[in-house]
Structure 1
Amino acid sequence: MSDTIDSRLQSLGITLPQAAAPAANYVPYVISGNLLYLSGQLPMEDGKVGVTGLVGKDVDVAGAQRAAELCAINILAQAKAALGGDLSRITRVIKLNGFVASAPGFVEQHLVINGASNLIANVLGDAGKHARAAVGMAALPLNAAVEIDAILEIAL
């Protein structure tokens, strides 16, 4: 399956970055039993937040979907680091929690987080289909437009 995941990433033109180090007093992931809990990932690109501002004011839906895709790429990078480089150990993405920095009146958070949901499903296939939440926030760390965390089931 790892070859399949790698080939899917390659066909999508995605190279996973080095997993980001925590920016505060937390760990990037926790493994408990067969569950991998990933801390919130920002839309980091080339070492900086790639999409900033409030969605519906500073960022349109398409730009915010790109931010969600970047978050998903960073989720996969953190999972790869947590799993010793072997993404084939992911048996199921259980849940994504998507947070969207939203201007007052913006109500399309679900469309924004589709950017991450679609990418995860495209890379992981059936194992990438998940439950999720998509909520609006007044602001996010570093003025990021989107932040997403994840819970994954893994093979031990």
Structure 2
Amino acid sequence: MSVEDTRNAATVESRLHALGHTLPVPPTPRANYTPGKVIGDKLYLSGQIPFVDEVLTVTGKLGEDVTVEEGQKQAALAALNALGAARQILGTLEGVSVANINVFVACAPSFAEQHVVANGASDILTAAFGPDEAIPRTAVGVPGLPLNAPVEIQLLLTVPAA
């Protein structure tokens, strides 16, 4: 199914599924934090790294150990993990909207393509919520991330009134 065809898909999860993505079960927190917290009409999600079945399959820094293309894939995985956490907390992603995304990229000091790596996460969110969903975003280079992850995603979502 093409990206154009996914516009007609009924739900966030069906749009992702049409593109070959499934929402993962969120990874077990490895420190003293909660995956997310609802305050008013906002869901504040903790940072998510690109675990696959509780394992980081790629580690290292962009510009040293990890290519831009692989970084984009890892950003997409982290975004899927964030959506999986949101679904677990809320029970559904219907009626949810992305208020903001922060993408942290572990990188060499001379690396300057953080915004390109962040496109991997933005592409997943656009696929999930539709091409008309404007997504404010920040992409930041950092010297290191937990467990030597190459990227970390933090989402702020608006949720329907209860």
Give the TM-score normalised by the residue count of structure 1.
0.93
Number of residue equivalences:
154
Unaligned runs of 5+ in 1: none
The alignment-based identity, stated in percent, is 45
**Structure 2 Cα separation of the partners of residues 79 and 126 of structure 1:** 20
**1:51-130 matched pairs, under 5 angstroms:** 51-84=58-91, 86-90=92-96, 92-126=97-131, 128-130=133-135
The amino acid that maps onto 2:124 is L
The structure with the greater share of residues assigned to helix is 1
1:31 and 2:42 aligned: no
Q: Deviations over 1:110-145 (max 9, x none)?
A: 000010001101111157431111000101000100
Give the structure 1 partner of residue 159 of structure 2.
Answer: 154
Asked if the contact 1:52–1:143 (Cα under 8 Å) also holds between the matched residues in 2, the reply is yes
The amino acid that maps onto 1:142 is L
Give the TM-score normalised by the residue count of structure 2.
0.90
- The one of 31, 50, 61 equivalent to 2:57 is 50
Indicate the SS of the match to 2:81.
helix
Indicate the SS of the match to 2:11.
helix
The structure with the greater share of residues assigned to strand is 1
Unaligned runs of 5+ in 2: 1-7
Moved over 3 A (4+): none
The amino acid that maps onto 2:93 is L
**Structure 2 Cα separation of the partners of residues 25 and 58 of structure 1:** 29
Give the structure 2 partner of residue 22 of structure 1.
Answer: 29
RMSD across aligned positions (CA):
1.6
Indicate the SS of the match to 1:64.
helix
